[in-house]
Amino acid sequence: MGVAYMPGTEIERLVEEQAFELNTVIVLNRKSHAELLALMEKQHVLVCMDARVSWEARQKAWRKLRHDHAIDMFQEELGSKAYTNPPARIELFRKAEEAQQARQAERTAHMAKLGDMTLPESAVVSELLAEFEKLNGREGTAIDELLAGIEDIRTTQVANAEQRRESLRAELHEYGALEPEPDLGSVATQIDAVLTDSSLDAFFRGAGGLKHALKEISTELRHPDLIYARLLSPTIKGLQNLLCGLGLPEVLEVQGKATMRESLCNTLERLRLASKSDVIPIIPILLAQVNELLTVKELDPLLQHYLGEAKEDLESLVRDLDIMTGGGGGGGSESRSGSDSRSHGGRTGTSRTGTGAGSRKGSASTVGRKSIARSNSRSSRGGGAAHSGGGWEQPEVNMLEVRSVQKRLMMLMQVSELDKIFQETLSELLVMLRQKEVCNSIVDQVVADECTAPLDARKAEQVEVADNVIRFLERNTSHVHEVSVRLGTFYLCVAKILEMHSKHDIELDEKTEEELDDSVDRFKTADDQRTADIGHWENALRLAAGDEDLEIAYNQVIKLLAEVQESYYAYHKDATECAEAHPQRVFAEAASFMEKLCESLGMVPQPAEEAAEAVAAAEEAARLAASLGSNKPQVGADGRLPVGAEVEMLLDLNQDGPIRDGPDVGVVDTDKALAFADREAHPWASIVGVFKLSDSALSYGMTKSCELIVENMLEPPDGLEEEGDEEDEGEGAQEDEEEETPAEGEADEAGEADENEEEEEPEPEDWEVPWWQPDESGEPFVSLAEEDMAALAGPALADYVERKMACFKKLTAEEVEELPTKARRAEYKTIKSEVRDIRRAKRASQMEAIRMSYFSEPPVDGDGNSCCSRVMLPSDGMVTMLEMLRFTLVSDSETKHAARTKEVTELCGERKDVLTEELETRLRLHWPKKGRVETRIRQVREGQLIAHRQRAERHVRAVNQKNSAHQREFDSLVAQYGERCEFYKRSLEDLEATLPAQESLAALQGVEGKCRKMVAGFKDECEEALDDLTRFTETEPHKLHALSMHLIDATYTFESGEGDYSQQEEADLRAHLEVLDKSIDAAVATRVAAIDALAERQVTAIGVEAEFVKAFKSSLQELSLREAIGMKYGAPRRNAQERLRTEQTCDQNSKLFLDGLLDQLEDLCVSTRTAIQAGEGSKALEALMAATPPRAALLRELLLAVRSLVMRRAEYLEFMPAPERIDSAAPVSKAGYFLNASKSEIAAGNSALKAAVPAYTVTLAPTMAAAIDQLEERCRSETRKLYEDEGRPELLGPEGVPDALKEWLAKSRDDVLAPLGVRDTSRAALREQVTRLERIIAKTPVPVDPNWTGAPAACLEDCTAHAHHAAMRSIELIESRFQAQRAVWDAARAKHEAALRPQMGRPDAAAEREALMAAEKARCDEVKAAVKAVRSTLIDGQLNHAASFVSTLRDQTSAVLLIVDTLVLSDDLGYLPGDEMIEKKRKSLKRLKKAQRRASAEAGR
């Protein structure tokens, strides 16, 4: 009230003062508040920084601790028993040892089988040797398996250790104690976000392979193998390939060449969308643009490299295209490509195909780092290309390489279109990858330093154990196998001696039998020959043609019978001598066998002249043994054995002392030994040599004991030197050879010693010793004097000796001769001898070490346990086996020899008796043969020769009669067929005369058919006639020849065994028949000539057909010209028919396309109604809301397509009386298609909308009547041109076409355009489609159809549903956020209520109570403010949604009304025949409302 009286200006002044004071206070308060906040924030930053620094220090210490602990754990694990002595290897050695003992048991069992044999058999021994070989093979297999098992265990251990090393590497990378690891996962997440951005899909499609490259980089950034260079280096390379194109726009912009990149992008886009046939003209344009871009300065070097590769590929493609097209116009094409590229760039430089404004922010993808390289498809370029020969053909293009170049270049051009922030991210990623390389190198070095030594130590231990075990097993196996083979070979040698003796006995028996058989064979051969000669002459006697031949044959038979009798006596004499020689050979074989057997058993056979003395000595020894109670010969007081003791007594001596000879024990009889050594060679030698038991010529007695034989068997295998130093062995052998053969230098020295006249030249001062060479380190060798060498001892002396042996250089004979003095040559010889002795001693030591290694103990593992066992055959058992073998063999051999002697003696006597009896039998059977020749052969032949001649004469007479009858029948048939030819010619000429009189094509073709039938019939008659006449040249003559052949076949000679004709008689009969066959062949030749003449007459008659055909073609052409028919003159009519059918097909396709649009429109209306009726939350409505494009937009596009197509069909069918009243091309705004959508969603919706509405591709004429006029006019012009070209225009009627074609054109026009024709049928169909369209759009809104929603209504309902759905989603989103905050507030309230305890009522708790109350009040204030904010946000959001909905509804309503107003309805169409011309009266608005009220009332009732 105090200022009510003041004027307004005064009040304003007062208010201004108060406001200024208030503002000053507020500004000061805010300034203080800001200073306070700044101080607090500064203090907060300091505290956070201290905490962060402390945390980083603790984190670094923790990382280092974990780093060291991981390395210690790795080394501790590699030093454990699991790696030094794995349990798997222990178990493997145990199983291998068990298997080794089992095989040794089998080997011992086989040895026992050898000892169990009474007499060795080679087959059994060979089987046992084979078993030994199998056992050896199994041993080798077991060793290989053991080695493989050890290797598997070692491989597993190494793999486990390496895997543990790699896990350590990954663990060290995880800690990053020595170098911080970059955060590559976050960058991969950013790349994935760009790749999954749907707004960039259009950009990715046009950016080559950029998306794929980014996807690969993202995948590799997450790959665990990024700690290795094999994956990190390609990742860096791929990222560099992308980054090289980022600076291209700035470089071009600075130089004013920005349009170059845009032109190149447009060309690449054209190349991407082009088909194979459209690629060829684009490639030169692209090449020119790349060349132009390469001229720009300051480009990235890597980008220049890839542009250069693309240029080479494009040039190669252009060269291939030039080659395939003939190479013409090269220069012109280049100039044209340049101009095309400029015009293209100027025309399309401001737009980008397929991308919107927001689609330039994404990433693009090339084919990846693999596709940034040049295409590998160049090798196949031109493989399927064909040379263009002109016309429509084009050369083949290598589309793989074209696409590769396009993707590479498009990636390089479009990578700069990425978002700037994302480009910076990629650049930072390259730095992070470089940091990753540093981390990898540091960790790799740590792993190499800490892990290499333990891994190498474990590997060396594994290899050493495996080598020791395998080497021991191989030596032990070869040793025991060699002993087994030696034992078996010894038995095999003895068995083969026994078997060879048996074989020789059998061979002697067989040889005697063979000799007897040979004697018999020789006798039988000669006897058979004589018998054959007798048979020959007896046969000649049977085949004799006269008395002279009979007499000669008879005399020869008598002479041969006398010779047979003399041969019987000669055979008896030879066979008897052979039978008497058999016993002598058997005795000689027995003596040779005993020599070989004794030699193999280590004994010498007793000479034959001492056999009697040996028998006496044996009897005396037996007597003495009986008297002393022993069955063995005893040694006398003089220490000598009895002379000639039996062999089985000597077998028990088994001594290694001197061999006993006769009564003088220990004395060798040289003469007997030489005689034994020089014995005659025998087949036994090859068998005895298998296992040599004796090295010197000895007299009979014992040569080796069984213990000595076994000791030799148990020696290591031969060839031990192969395991020694091969080089030393070779040198030692060569030195031994040189020692035996004096060197040339020594011979020269001897010669020089003899020449005392010559004086030796002095040694040169600068001469150097040539036999010493530097050692491996290059230091020269200095030879020590004897006193200096004596001072050396132990390792020093050994090293000096080794170095001396290694540095000694052997001189050739020429070099020794060139030594300056004798002293030097002697010195060289001494040193050479010393080196040779050193090497021999070294080699002997090595050989002894190798020999002793066969008897060494098995190796042990790391725990001292034996890895395997050493096995060998028992020596005592082998000695026992050999002793038993000696006794058994000698006893058995003597017993068999006595039985053999008795057997062969008795066999000889039996053979003599048989031969004598055989001689007597043959003589008794031979004497009666002479009388049988006279009575049974000679007298029979004389009566067989008379009846053969008359048979041949009868046959010749019968064949001549039949041939004459055939000739008469043939002549009659030839005459008949000639008359038939003349009749055919006359008939065909008469038929030809009727052709000009025919008036139609059918009549003309009927005459032609008669001609063809007549010609076919006559040809068949000709073939039948020739076939019939051929019977007289082939069948009948063949029968006559067959009669002669049958006669020959029925003539049997003596040789066949069934006849009585001789060869001469048969030859004479064949000569007579050949003359008869020649007469038949002459008649056949005459008939063939007659048939050829008849065939020529038939060909002449058939030739008349050509004249008929010529006349027929002339008549046919005349008829075709008159009637316009036929293949040539009927072509215009056929073309017109084809065009008419094509036009009708296009009309039908257009109708079907309109039906499809109406079906789609009707389905959309039904589905929209169903989804909206389902209500909020239903799946149908959710699907409707998520549909792309929106249903309203799709309905509007379909209505526009239906409007355009109905109008086009009505115009085509001329079915609209007033088409100007409807503006079917009226533009309709497309605003409001997409409600609250982003630009990318709008672009995607437009693409989906274009794909959802089918494109109309049917081509129609302006009208159907115009199409009929056009095809009729074209038919007339083609017909006129055809007749004028033929020079027959006078045949055309007054209208320019033949009358028949004129009638056909008129009929075709009536069928299409006349009432109830094709056009009226299409009009009726169009009316039905328009009626259906009226129902779809609900043309009659009153009364309302409760079961149908029209297309306009569906559009509006869809917009309403989308607006409601968006509003509800907005409300739900705001409510969900508020509910989340409310949960926090409720939790705070519950916390405050829990904190409100009764104790807070005390005075001393006032501060705590006040603080709790203040906190609760602050929470309440926050809730109230949030409620107000949410309410305001909801109201504002709903208002915005309402405004957007009103705008969209206005656009949709106006667009739908405009579309409905411009639709062609049934009222706009014309009338069809049968329609009643009564205009339907339209209802007024008042009547329509009244009808609507009635319908509502009825529905209510």
pLDDT value at 508 more than 50: yes
1395 Cβ contact list (under 8 Å, min separation 6): 1412
In the predicted model, what is the mean pLDDT of residues 101-119?
86
223: left (phi over 0), alpha (psi -120 to 50) or beta: beta
Helices and strands in the chain: count of H runs, count of E runs: 46, 2
In the structure, what pLDDT confidence band is assigned to residue 1233 with cuts at 50, 70 and 90?
low
Of the candidates 451, 449, 444, the one whose C-alpha atom is nearest the C-alpha of residue 83 is 451
Pair 108, 483: CB distance under 8 Å: no
Element (H, E) at 603: strand 603-604
Distance of CA 86 to the CA centre of its chain: 40
Asked which of 199-203, 292-296, 628-632 is least confident by mean pLDDT, the reply is 628-632
Q: What is the pLDDT of residues 1021-1042, one digit of tens each?
A: 888 888 888 888 888 889 888 8
Mark 419-432 as b/e (b = at least 16 C-beta within 10 Å): eeebbebbeebeeb
Pair 263, 345: CB distance under 8 Å: yes
> What is the rounded CA–CA span in Å between residue 941 and residue 540?
10
Averaged pLDDT score across all residues of the chain: 77
426 Cβ contact list (under 8 Å, min separation 6): 239, 242, 243, 246, 418
Q: Per the omega criterion (within 30 degrees of 0), is the bond before 762 cis?
A: no
179 Cβ contact list (under 8 Å, min separation 6): 435, 438, 439, 442, 443
Give 696 or 1424, the one with higher predicted confidence.
1424
List the structure tokens of 1198. Answer: 């379909």
- Judged by DSSP in three states, 1456 sits in helix
In the predicted model, what is the mean pLDDT of residues 483-512?
86
In the predicted model, what is the mean pLDDT of residues 1083-1087?
89
Q: What is the pLDDT of residues 1302-1345, one digit of tens each?
A: 778 788 888 888 888 888 888 888 888 888 888 888 777 666 67
What sign results for the dihedral spanned by CA atoms 1282, 1285, 1288, 1293?
A: positive
Give 192 or 809, the one with higher predicted confidence.
192
pLDDT value at 343 more than 50: no
> What is the rounded CA–CA span in Å between residue 895 and residue 899?
7
In the predicted model, what is the mean pLDDT of residues 1231-1250?
67
In the predicted model, what is the mean pLDDT of residues 142-153?
89
Element (H, E) at 701: strand 701-702
Per mean pLDDT, which of 48-52, 898-902, 1100-1104 is the most reliable?
Answer: 48-52
Q: What is the pLDDT of residues 1336-1395, one digit of tens each?
A: 887 776 666 777 888 888 888 888 888 888 888 889 899 898 899 989 899 988 888 888
- Judged by DSSP in three states, 1061 sits in strand
Q: What is the pLDDT of residues 299-340, one digit of tens each?
A: 888 888 888 888 888 888 888 776 655 544 444 333 333 334
- Judged by DSSP in three states, 808 sits in strand
pTM for the whole structure: 0.44
In the structure, what pLDDT confidence band is assigned to residue 1420 with cuts at 50, 70 and 90?
very high
In the structure, what pLDDT confidence band is assigned to residue 715 with cuts at 50, 70 and 90?
confident
pLDDT value at 582 more than 70: yes
> What is the rounded CA–CA span in Å between residue 732 and residue 725?
10
In the predicted model, what is the mean pLDDT of residues 82-103?
85
Give 424 or 668, the one with higher predicted confidence.
424
566 Cβ contact list (under 8 Å, min separation 6): none
What's the pLDDT at 749?
A: 46
pLDDT value at 77 more than 70: yes
pLDDT value at 658 more than 70: no
Of the candidates 616, 673, 612, 667, the one whose C-alpha atom is nearest the C-alpha of residue 640 is 667
> What is the rounded CA–CA span in Å between residue 1382 and residue 1398?
27
Q: What is the pLDDT of residues 531-540, one digit of tens each?
A: 888 888 887 8
Amino acid at 212: H
The fraction of the chain above a pLDDT of 90, given in percent, is 1
What's the pLDDT at 751?
A: 46
Element (H, E) at 1451: helix 1406-1461
Of the candidates 434, 365, 359, 373, the one whose C-alpha atom is nearest the C-alpha of residue 219 is 365
- Judged by DSSP in three states, 764 sits in coil
Of the candidates 747, 741, 756, the one whose C-alpha atom is nearest the C-alpha of residue 816 is 747
- Judged by DSSP in three states, 944 sits in coil
Of the candidates 274, 433, 462, the one whose C-alpha atom is nearest the C-alpha of residue 353 is 274
In the structure, what pLDDT confidence band is assigned to residue 358 with cuts at 50, 70 and 90?
very low
> What is the rounded CA–CA span in Å between residue 1143 and residue 1138?
9
> What is the rounded CA–CA span in Å between residue 1290 and residue 1286?
11
Q: Per the omega criterion (within 30 degrees of 0), is the bond before 1343 cis?
A: yes
In the predicted model, what is the mean pLDDT of residues 429-443?
87
The fraction of the chain above a pLDDT of 70, given in percent, is 82
Any idea what DSSP says for residue 661?
B
In the predicted model, what is the mean pLDDT of residues 1255-1259?
76
Q: What is the pLDDT of residues 85-95, one digit of tens each?
A: 888 888 888 88
Asked which of 202-211, 566-575, 759-768, 779-788 is least confident by mean pLDDT, the reply is 759-768
Distance of CA 605 to the CA centre of its chain: 74
What's the pLDDT at 1172?
A: 81
